[in-house]
Structure 1
Amino acid sequence: MENRVVITGLGVCAPNGIGLEEFGKALAKGKSGIRFHQELKELNFSCQIAGRPDIESVDLNNYFTNLQLRGLEASGLIYGVISGKDAWEDAGLHVAGDNEPDWENGVIFGTGMLGVDRFRNAIYAVDSGNVRRSGSTTVIQTMASGISAFLGGMLGCGNQVTTNSSACSTGTEALLMGYEHIKSGKAKRMLVGSCSDSGPYIWGGFDAMRILPRNYNDNPESASRPMSASATGFVPGSGAGALVLESLESALERNASIYAEVLGGEVNSGGQRGGGSMTAPNSIAVQHCISKAIQNADVSANDIDVINGHLTATTKDPVEITNWTKALKRDGKNFPYINSFKGMFGHCLAAAGSIECVGTILQLKHQQVFGNVNCDDIHPEIAKVIDESRIPRKTFQHKSKIIAKASFGFGDVNACVIFRQYSKN
């Protein structure tokens, strides 16, 4: 017997809201977290705006010990710990005792690059001949698995504790990895999610590629425009999202609140063939990923009520919509409602999938479809294949049962997960 897998805890540290209540309200109201950053202007960035969580009001003593806070510079690690510990608390789970870890609890928490600022400072110290000034915590703040190691130790997890990395699909992939681990009976509970550092050393490469919007530095909240004809590139973002996955049996045993059920999904690659490349998706692979996710979830394409797309506000948005129509064999007014949260906080890179999965689950919880912002001028290629009514501009109540969430990343990698409103049957 394979275990059913449910979601019992959520945590988020996003540019437009930290914590479920603030984040959920921001999504429902279309509140933006994209701001102008003087630092980027001083460094001669063409795009001087970004989405960065405002953690100034967060008491980090609630998340780290004084020793852990000493010399802590890795922003993604901070975001990840905030979201991860919040999700664990939201699930009503305890931290393991001092003598033995909990063998049934694990962590899969992904990232792209971690602790870049810390690494930069360490390099300067070494190059100047002051190796001891590089800091004794440099390694744990800059190794990719630093985030999962921090969370695993803080919570006392004795099952698998690891980090994955697959560009923009990292968070959705981490969720599916945790899902498979519980489904197969290897663990009862898995904390899954992803995080991304913030700052010029993360965003500079994208600015150099000229794929970020350059004409909105004076109007940052209008810059991220998924599915819009006037979209000129994605706005860089950062943050973290976290979800507690649990076997249904375990959740029922402890009378846990259940947000949703994970029905299944798919992860694949286009192999950078058939039009796919390091930066562009292979459309056939995207369609295959979506189709297999639906098949693995044991639902039909017609069961999908809502899609939360990847949709980054680039020239690839119309291609993504076309791929959805082909995979689902649904178009026009028969297409599901679709939204992108990136209009409100930009593209959070490795953290995108997990933050957006949290938002997707909140749609199921509140029985709402969150509105899209900055897309009054729907791209004409999108309008050709789906009816504009399927792209809601305002949040509205909707009795959704099944929502699909997908993420597509650099390297031609894809991930798609299917969520369902929990029912006993």
Structure 2
Amino acid sequence: MTKKIVVTGIGATSPLGGTARESWKALLAKESGAHNLEYDWIDEYSIPVTFAAEAKVRPSEVLERPVAKRLDPSSQFALISAMEAWADAGEPDVEPERLGVDYATGIGGVWTLLNAWDTLRERGPRRVLPMTVPMLMPNAASAAVSMHFGARAFARTVASACASSTESIANAYEHLQLGLADVVIAGGTESAIHPITIASFASMQALSKRNDSPETASRPYSIDRDGFVMGEGAASLVLETEEHARARGAHIYAELAGTGVTADSYHITANDPEGRGASRAVELALTQAGASADDVTHINAHATSTPVGDVAEYAALRAVFGDRVSEIPVSATKASTGHLLGGTGALESVFSIYAIAERTAPPTINITTQDPEIPLTVSGDVQDLGQRDQLAISNSFGFGGHNAVAAFRSVS
């Protein structure tokens, strides 16, 4: 028998705010998290893109120093958002063997890795920290979350580029359905605003180069879009079976109604221009949700603001929704937050949950002239979703051809 999986806790630390609620309020207020970077390495290495969307609240302001010093920034963000989500869920009383962690990252501890390399070159092997490998490994965030909460059912890690955290949410859904846990902390994190990653993304022409106007650089669907903006942070969900949640009297934000995960098998960085893998992921999520395309009331699009990627996603959505795609309220929230890579799907899931709970689709800032090749209902203002039952999908697509979609349904 299929179990109903629900969201009982939400946490986030993002370029818009130090908590999920602060991030949501700033999103509705049309704020941008992007700004110029004030680091010596910008000039030292002649980095061509001089801005990004850093997390608004630094981990050092939240975590105690002995905890933070043993974690890469990506794991610090993960732990902060998970702590918020856990508290928001009412700190469920669950046996350690029935509590699991599904957590994701796209890159992992890149700061730890490259700082250690610098130390090795400049000061020798004896000065490399003994915790370097435990800090840089991609599963470090999942491990840190599981150890903090004593989760012993499992602690699993997904690394599927920008689809990573949505895929972790999909895995959590499956693990709860299989009865492997009663409660799962799921999400994703990234902290990769580093000269090597910025230089690399810039070299492949993936980043916006609007150094003179960081706040307006990310322009999903605009005809003059020129690339994405690097972001950082983390977001977490506490997921559990409805039976478990109601037995403990938990507040339920939404139902995680279904998920879909596919692969393009097309190109290491480019989307399938026809969006076939992406459209199948949407269809799988709707099928799992027992829903049809006509039931969808809101879409949080992947919408990175790249010239090719935005068009490919539209092709995928049109393949699923047909002419109705132009009627569904769409939000492209990376315009405000930048692109959190492995953490982006979890953050956009948080926004999707708030959207259906409050019947409000967040605005998409920085639209100048909407690309006529992408005739979606996207607005620079808040869109009212109405009082009907809501079903939102959140799309995430990543390098390597990874596609992951989560569908969330409102609860009465």
Q: Normalised by the size of structure 1, how large is the TM-score?
A: 0.91
Moved beyond 4 Å, runs of 4+: none
Q: Which residue number in structure 2 is paired with residue 19 of structure 1?
A: 19
Q: How does 1:222-233 map to 2 (within 5 A)?
A: 222-233=216-227
CA contact (8 A) 1:401 1:421 kept: yes
Kindly provide the amino acid, as one letter, of the partner of residue 392 in structure 1. Answer: S
Q: How does 1:170-185 map to 2 (within 5 A)?
A: 170-185=164-179
Establish whether residue 154 from structure 1 lines up as the match of residue 148 from structure 2: yes
Aligned with 1:46: secondary structure?
A: coil
CA contact (8 A) 1:198 1:239 kept: no
How many residue pairs were aligned?
405
Establish whether residue 278 from structure 1 lines up as the match of residue 269 from structure 2: yes
Kindly provide the amino acid, as one letter, of the partner of residue 251 in structure 1. Answer: A
Q: Which residue number in structure 2 is paired with residue 320 of structure 1?
A: 313
Tell me the CA shift for residue 75 of structure 1: 1.6
Establish whether residue 266 from structure 1 lines up as the match of residue 257 from structure 2: no
Within the candidate set 73, 78, 87, 2:85 is matched to 87
Structure 2 distance, partners of 1:206, 1:422, is 40
Change (3 A) 1:279 1:291: same
Structure 2 distance, partners of 1:265, 1:69, is 33
Establish whether residue 2 from structure 1 lines up as the match of residue 2 from structure 2: yes
Establish whether residue 401 from structure 1 lines up as the match of residue 390 from structure 2: yes
Tell me the CA shift for residue 95 of structure 1: 7.8
Tell me the CA shift for residue 319 of structure 1: 2.3
Kindly provide the amino acid, as one letter, of the partner of residue 47 in structure 1. Answer: V
CA contact (8 A) 1:404 1:417 kept: yes
Kindly provide the amino acid, as one letter, of the partner of residue 140 in structure 2. Answer: G
CA contact (8 A) 2:222 2:368 kept: yes
Q: Which residue number in structure 1 is paired with residue 67 of structure 2?
A: 68
Q: Which residue number in structure 2 is paired with residue 330 of structure 1?
A: 323
Structure 1 distance, partners of 2:212, 2:269, is 32
CA contact (8 A) 1:2 1:185 kept: no
Q: How does 1:12-411 map to 2 (within 5 A)?
A: 12-39=12-39, 41-42=42-43, 43-56=45-58, 59-61=61-63, 64=64, 66-70=65-69, 72=71, 74-94=72-92, 102-127=96-121, 130-200=124-194, 201-214=196-209, 216-272=210-266, 276-281=267-272, 283-315=275-307, 316-331=309-324, 333=326, 335-383=327-375, 386=376, 390-399=377-386, 401-411=390-400
Structure 1 distance, partners of 2:141, 2:9, is 18
Structure 2 distance, partners of 1:203, 1:110, is 21
The RMSD of aligned alpha carbons is 1.9
Tell me the CA shift for residue 113 of structure 1: 2.0
Change (3 A) 1:35 1:288: same
CA contact (8 A) 1:291 1:328 kept: no
Tell me the CA shift for residue 203 of structure 1: 2.4
Structure 2 distance, partners of 1:230, 1:122, is 40
Structure 2 distance, partners of 1:182, 1:223, is 40
Q: Normalised by the size of structure 2, how large is the TM-score?
A: 0.93
Gaps of 5+ in 1: none
Tell me the CA shift for residue 330 of structure 1: 3.1
CA contact (8 A) 2:11 2:20 kept: yes
CA contact (8 A) 2:59 2:80 kept: no
**Higher mean C-alpha displacement, 19-28 vs 50-59:** 50-59
Structure 2 distance, partners of 1:89, 1:59, is 18
Kindly provide the amino acid, as one letter, of the partner of residue 395 in structure 1. Answer: V
